[in-house]
Structure 1
Amino acid sequence: MSEARHEELSLLFRDARTHNTWLDRPVDDALLARLYELSRMGPTSANTHPMRMVFVKSAEAKAKLLPSVMPLNVDKVRAAPVTAIVAYDTAFYEWMPQLFPARPEMREFFGGLPEDGRTKLAEQGSFLSAGYVILAARALGLDVGPLGGFDQMSVDATFFPDGKWRSLLLLNLGYGDAAGLYPRNPRLSFEQACRVA
């Protein structure tokens, strides 16, 4: 493996950490646009791309988000330069003629699924896309702190009152303060977590 490849993998995986404390350094909107441009290239089922994001940056928007965050996570969200609300679009299928032009009938196919089937597909695709957001952020020099500790119904009522988008998780984004990192916890070995069938 070349040294450059080793460094790339370390940036994305080996040396990357979940950050909880942040440097007072803003994240430019143009960088957030680049982050989305990269992450949208990841795969989803039939190219549905149901993930949507709201990048919460302003003090006013943070003040609206903080009451929905569990107490343990409030300081993390308050200090992060950006908190991305990762959500899914319940009507993702409306975009199928644009996203799958060779088969525009996919709009009717996905739209005709039972609601629980559409929801499952949208959640799965959005969680998959969120993984690509994390990798894209790291590739662009940002640090990430994913959070699940928040009241989804409250976030949805505040940020998505029309009910069309539904939140899944929060991603704090910015430039992490390494002084706030804890020692890395262990991971399971290949033998403990995998089987070859």
Structure 2
Amino acid sequence: MGQPLDDAALDTIFRTARTYNGYDDTPVTEDDVRAIYDLIKMGPTSANQQPARFVWVLGDEAKEKLAATASDTNADKIRKAPASVVIGMDLDFHEQLPWLFPHTDAKSWFKTEEALRESAFRNSSLQGAYFIIAARALGWDTGPMSGFDPDKVNAAFFGDQPRVRVNFISTFGKGDPSTIFDRSPRPEFETFGRIE
């Protein structure tokens, strides 16, 4: 059974965490990336689908390749960040279900392309959110973005996997506080929620 996190942890993950547009020079290592992934994979997805496919961008050549797919502002952020991640979604995730969800024949649930697309998008989006939470929990800051050309990202990073498509991308590292905007409004519960 879970226990409530203390205020410091809640601040780190949610309340004082921010979207960063720039970072200091602290490097992100392969060990750091693996530690983030080891948390991401524990987050729930429907029938343990795990449809997200991650390309961790650490090297200068890979950064330039990703920057070439992004809008001018985002391209500069990618080039300057110590790391980025391309979060893709595998439209053939169901092929992995016999070992990921061995309790039943879950693969047979996905008989249409529409069902595959919808589930891959929904669950890879969850995994992308788990990335943000995991990175923050381990002391990193993130800069998720959608200002890029998806066809260019797919060609550059998933060209050998035509059934994998980009969902979104994010920079990450140790955030530079001078690069954040004032916090945008956050609605009160009643604005977008109700209890029935």
TM range (shorter): over 0.9
1:181 aligns with 2:180: yes
Q: Which amino acid aligns with 1:19?
A: Y
1:147 aligns with 2:145: yes
Mapped to 2, the partners of 1:66 and 1:78 lie a distance apart of 6
Mapped to 2, the partners of 1:15 and 1:28 lie a distance apart of 25
Structure 1: segments with no counterpart, 5+ residues: none
Q: How many angstroms does 1:182 deviate by? A: 2.1
Deviant stretches of 4+, over 6 Å = none
1:101 aligns with 2:102: yes
Question: Where does residue 90 of structure 1 map in the other structure?
Answer: 91
Q: Which amino acid aligns with 1:131?
A: A
Q: How far does the alpha carbon of each residue in 1:144-173 deviate from its partner, in whole angstroms, 9 at most, with x for none?
A: 000000000111011111312110100111
Equivalent pairs, count: 192
Q: Which amino acid aligns with 1:109?
A: W
Question: Where does residue 190 of structure 1 map in the other structure?
Answer: 189
Mapped to 2, the partners of 1:63 and 1:144 lie a distance apart of 19
Q: Which amino acid aligns with 1:54?
A: V
Mapped to 1, the partners of 2:114 and 2:159 lie a distance apart of 20
SS at match of 2:6: helix
Q: How many angstroms does 1:93 deviate by? A: 0.9
Mapped to 2, the partners of 1:64 and 1:70 lie a distance apart of 13
Question: Where does residue 64 of structure 1 map in the other structure?
Answer: 65
TM-score (norm 2): 0.94
Aligned pairs (5 A) from 1:25-104: 25-103=26-104
Q: Which amino acid aligns with 1:32?
A: V
Question: Where does residue 122 of structure 2 map in the other structure?
Answer: 124
TM-score (norm 1): 0.93
